[in-house]
Chain A
Amino acid sequence: MTPKPKRITDIGPPNYEKFLPPVVKRNYGQWKYHEILSPGVLVHVAESGEKLYTVRAASPRLLSVHTIRLFADLADKYCGGYLRFTSRNNVEFLLTDEKQIEPLKGDLAAAGYPVGGTGRTISNIVHTQGWVHCHSSATDASGLVKSMMDGLFPYFAEEKLPAKLRIAVACCLNMCGAVHCSDIAVLGVHRRPPKVRHDILPNVCEVPTLIASCPTGAIRPATVNGKQSVEVIEEQCMYCGNCYTVCPAMPLNDPDNDGISIWVGGKVSNARSTPKFTKLAIPFLPNNPPRWPEVVEAVEKIVTTYAEHAKPFERLGEWIERVGWPRFFQLTGFEFTRYHIDDFKHAGLTFARSAHLKF
Chain B
Amino acid sequence: MAEQNGKSKTKLLDELEKGPWPSFVREIKKTSDVSPTCDDLLGQLELSYEERKGHWKHGGIVGVMGYGGGVIGRYSDVPEQFPKVAHFHTMRVNQPSGWFYTSDALRTLCGIWERHGSGLTNMHGSTGDIVFLGTKTDELEPTFAELTKAGFDLGGSGSCVRTPSACVGPARCEHACYDTLKLCNDLTHAYQDELHRPPFPYKFKFKCAGCPNDCVAAVARADLSIIGIWKDEIQQDDAAVAEYAAKGLDIQKNVCEQCPSKCMNWDGKKLTIENKDCVRCMHCINAMPKALRPGKERGAAILIGSKAPIVQGALLSSVLIPFVPEAELMETLKELVSRIWEFWDEYGKNRERVGELIQRVGMANFLDAIGLDPAPEMVTAPRDNPYIFFREEAAK
Give A residues with C-beta under 8 Å from B: 7-16, 18-20, 24, 28-29, 31-35, 44, 52, 54, 58-69, 71-73, 75-76, 81-87, 89, 91, 94, 112-114, 126, 128, 130-137, 140, 142-143, 145-147, 149-150, 153, 156, 173-181, 204, 212, 215-216, 240, 242, 244-248, 253-256, 258, 266, 268-273, 275, 277, 287, 289-291, 312-314, 344-345
* Cα separation A143 to B25 with both chains bound (whole Å): 9
Q: 17 other contacts beyond A131-B56, A255-B51, with CB at 8 A cut-off?
A: A7-B148, A13-B185, A14-B152, A15-B185, A19-B101, A24-B171, A63-B121, A66-B30, A68-B106, A86-B99, A87-B128, A87-B165, A131-B54, A140-B49, A143-B49, A246-B58, A290-B12
- Neighbouring B residues of A180 by C-beta, 8 Å: 220, 308-309, 314
The answer to whether B48 touches A345, judged by C-beta atoms less than 8 angstroms apart, is: no
- Neighbouring B residues of A270 by C-beta, 8 Å: 212-214, 219, 279-282
Given contacts A83-B103, A87-B216, contact A143 B16 (CB under 8 A): yes
Is B231 positioned at the interface, with any CB of A under 8 Å from its CB? no
B26 to chain A: closest residue by CB:
A112
Q: 11 interchain pairs (CB within 8 A)?
A: A14-B96, A16-B96, A18-B102, A44-B174, A62-B24, A64-B31, A68-B106, A91-B123, A133-B74, A245-B59, A271-B283
Given contacts A131-B55, A244-B58, contact A176 B100 (CB under 8 A): no
- Neighbouring B residues of A277 by C-beta, 8 Å: 314, 316
- Complex interface residues of chain B between 45 and 62 (CB less than 8 A to chain A): 45, 48-49, 51-59
The answer to whether B105 touches A19, judged by C-beta atoms less than 8 angstroms apart, is: yes
Across the A-B interface, the 5 shortest Cβ-Cβ residue pairs = A150-B19, A72-B103, A270-B212, A29-B170, A149-B21
B281 to chain A: closest residue by CB:
A270
- Which of B189-197, B268-276, B327-335, B368-376 contacts the other chain? B189-197
Given contacts A31-B170, A62-B27, A289-B52, contact A81 B123 (CB under 8 A): no
- Neighbouring B residues of A33 by C-beta, 8 Å: 174, 289-290, 293
- How many Å from the CB of B380 to the closest CB on chain A? 9
The answer to whether B171 touches A65, judged by C-beta atoms less than 8 angstroms apart, is: no
A137 to chain B: closest residue by CB:
B54
Q: When the two chains form the complex, which single residue of B16, B120, B218 contacts A146, counting CB atoms closer than 8 Å?
A: B16
- How many Å from the CB of A343 to the closest CB on chain B? 12
B51-83 CB contact bits vs A (8 Å, 1 = yes)?
A: 111111111000001110000001001000000
Given contacts A84-B168, A345-B313, contact A63 B122 (CB under 8 A): yes
Is B23 positioned at the interface, with any CB of A under 8 Å from its CB? yes
- How many Å from the CB of A202 to the closest CB on chain B? 15
The answer to whether B290 touches A12, judged by C-beta atoms less than 8 angstroms apart, is: no
- Neighbouring B residues of A32 by C-beta, 8 Å: 174, 290, 293
- How many Å from the CB of B48 to the closest CB on chain A? 4
* Cα separation A34 to B121 with both chains bound (whole Å): 32
The answer to whether A272 touches B260, judged by C-beta atoms less than 8 angstroms apart, is: yes
Given contacts A62-B28, A64-B27, A272-B258, contact A13 B94 (CB under 8 A): yes
* Cα separation A11 to B189 with both chains bound (whole Å): 8
With an 8 Å Cβ cutoff, the count of chain B residues facing the other chain is 125
Given contacts A11-B151, A131-B54, A268-B220, contact A65 B114 (CB under 8 A): yes
B142-155 CB contact bits vs A (8 Å, 1 = yes)?
A: 00010011011100
- Neighbouring A residues of B281 by C-beta, 8 Å: 270-272
Is B159 positioned at the interface, with any CB of A under 8 Å from its CB? no
- Complex interface residues of chain B between 339 and 386 (CB less than 8 A to chain A): 350-351
* Cα separation A233 to B88 with both chains bound (whole Å): 33
Given contacts A7-B65, A72-B106, A126-B126, contact A15 B96 (CB under 8 A): yes
- Neighbouring B residues of A28 by C-beta, 8 Å: 170-171
A86 to chain B: closest residue by CB:
B99
Is B325 positioned at the interface, with any CB of A under 8 Å from its CB? no
* Cα separation A128 to B90 with both chains bound (whole Å): 13
Given contacts A275-B220, A313-B283, contact A12 B94 (CB under 8 A): yes
The answer to whether B103 touches A81, judged by C-beta atoms less than 8 angstroms apart, is: yes
Given contacts A64-B120, A248-B77, contact A134 B54 (CB under 8 A): yes
- How many Å from the CB of A262 to the closest CB on chain B? 16
* Cα separation A94 to B151 with both chains bound (whole Å): 23
Given contacts A83-B101, A173-B309, A215-B311, contact A268 B106 (CB under 8 A): no
A254 to chain B: closest residue by CB:
B53
Given contacts A7-B145, A275-B214, contact A13 B153 (CB under 8 A): yes
- How many Å from the CB of A108 to the closest CB on chain B? 10
The answer to whether A84 touches B312, judged by C-beta atoms less than 8 angstroms apart, is: no
B105-147 CB contact bits vs A (8 Å, 1 = yes)?
A: 1110110011000011111111110000110000000000100
- How many Å from the CB of A354 to the closest CB on chain B? 15
* Cα separation A86 to B169 with both chains bound (whole Å): 12
Is B87 positioned at the interface, with any CB of A under 8 Å from its CB? no
Is B322 positioned at the interface, with any CB of A under 8 Å from its CB? no
- How many Å from the CB of A8 to the closest CB on chain B? 4
The answer to whether B53 touches A66, judged by C-beta atoms less than 8 angstroms apart, is: no
Task: Kindly name the residue among B94, B120, B259, B308 whose own CB sees the greatest number of chain A CB atoms within 10 A.
Answer: B308
A73 to chain B: closest residue by CB:
B103
Given contacts A150-B20, A345-B313, contact A69 B106 (CB under 8 A): yes
- Neighbouring B residues of A216 by C-beta, 8 Å: 311
The answer to whether B53 touches A269, judged by C-beta atoms less than 8 angstroms apart, is: no
* Cα separation A49 to B33 with both chains bound (whole Å): 47
- Neighbouring A residues of B77 by C-beta, 8 Å: 248
The answer to whether A68 touches B219, judged by C-beta atoms less than 8 angstroms apart, is: no
Is B287 positioned at the interface, with any CB of A under 8 Å from its CB? yes
The answer to whether A62 touches B120, judged by C-beta atoms less than 8 angstroms apart, is: yes
- How many Å from the CB of A117 to the closest CB on chain B? 11
B273-303 CB contact bits vs A (8 Å, 1 = yes)?
A: 0000001111100110110010000000000
* Cα separation A174 to B127 with both chains bound (whole Å): 13
Given contacts A14-B151, A132-B41, A135-B54, contact A44 B172 (CB under 8 A): yes
Given contacts A13-B185, A269-B212, A345-B312, contact A31 B174 (CB under 8 A): yes
Is B267 positioned at the interface, with any CB of A under 8 Å from its CB? no
Given contacts A60-B27, A134-B54, contact A16 B152 (CB under 8 A): no
The answer to whether A255 touches B58, judged by C-beta atoms less than 8 angstroms apart, is: no
